[in-house]
Amino acid sequence: MKHKIGLLGFGTVGQGLCEILLNKKEFLKKKYGFKFDIVAVADFKFGNVYNAKGLDIEKMIKEAKAGKKFTQDLADWDNLKLIKKSNTTVWCELTYTDLNTGGPAIDHVKTALKSGKHVVTSNKGPAALFYPQMKKLADKNGVKFKIEGTVVAGTPVINLAEGPLAGCTISKIRGILNGTTNYMLTEMEKGMAYDEVLKVAQEKGYAEADPTGDVEGYDARGKVTILANIVMGAGIKITDVPCNGITKIKPADIEKAKKQNKRWKLIGSVEMIDGKVEASVKPEMIDLSHPLAGVMGATNALTFTTDLLGDVTIVGPGAGKIETGFSILTDLLSISREMEN
């Protein structure tokens, strides 16, 4: 079958996904039998467009890069009407994250699932706040709700826990879940000032639209909540997770850590203790000999503590245009595979 893809949001991730899909179109068809058209795009800045036979994505990328509104296949329909009425089979929800309300993404996700359309998202809002409800809605409507890109971009974390690690009991997940703060701590250790390095992290596109979410640890807290609920079935709320960011770390603290052969890392942790899941986000001084101490810059890393394999650590990019675009591709391919079986 040919997948009819719709995109909600045509920002960094949406454009990254489109670049991958365009560049790999033939490879995806030949190797995985994955055939698609991108038929609908809704973006508050560039406009809403729809063509049941497929949009001219190359042209749209050019227009978006030039900061211009879309000029072809313009649709009168608002986002929800486009989701419902178009011939789309799968929606990629790539709008901005709101960890307080989940909106507007949550309305997009609900509408798509209720309309019997799959949803793939890198948006942490719906995943951190409403995963159990959305999974139930997806199951009820016979479609998939896939969220690999919400934690550590395309580096496989959720799919690793659900797929290759299935059968293991996972008792602890611990690691570096935010690229911006890890980059900042790395540069601050080299002597760069906090404000200066935050600005560079924003310029490099690691930070959220409002970087408070990164430096106060809220972004990592969203990811910890997702892991706790999906991998450990914790049923916790984001506000249940104690959270401290890196804003209070001063050059003197960095020097203190150095003298003790240690280094500051913002650590997200989920642990099963006496049958209860405890989760937190906080900066910790860790020994330089610890595997997480060597993870520098915007790279993320997570260690799963399992009963059958011991510790399994995955290290990889946690942010970025292509890296997050890939997370959407990986979930699209798995939906395609699951539908064929």
Contact status: 178 vs ligand HSE (CB under 6 A): yes
Binding segment for ligand HSE (CB under 6 A), chosen from 55-63, 131-139, 177-185, 255-263, is: 177-185
Contact status: 318 vs ligand HSE (CB under 6 A): yes
Write down the catalytic residue from 223, 262, 265, 321: 223
Q: What is the CA radius of gyration of the chain?
A: 20
Find how far residue 255's CA is from the centre of its chain.
Answer: 33
* Least separation in angstroms between CB 242 and ligand HSE: 19
Report the helix count and the strand count for the chain, using DSSP H and E.
13, 11
Q: What element of type H or E holds 176?
A: strand 170-176
Q: Is 89 or 159 the residue whose CB approaches ligand HSE more closely?
A: 159
With CB under 6 A as the contact rule, the residue among 50, 206, 218, 326 that binds ligand HSE is 206
Residues near 252 by beta carbon (within 8 Å), at least 6 away in sequence: none
Q: Is 138 or 176 the residue whose CB approaches ligand HSE more closely?
A: 176
Contact status: 154 vs ligand HSE (CB under 6 A): no
CB 195 within 8 A of CB 316: no
Residues 125 and 78: their CA atoms lie apart, in Å, by 21
Contact status: 326 vs ligand HSE (CB under 6 A): no
Is 223 catalytic? The answer is: yes
The residue among 209, 238, 216, 219 whose CA lies nearest residue 131 is 238
Contact status: 207 vs ligand HSE (CB under 6 A): yes
Q: Is 7 or 226 the residue whose CB approaches ligand HSE more closely?
A: 226
Interaction site with ligand HSE (CB under 6 A)? 178-180, 206-208, 214, 219, 318-319
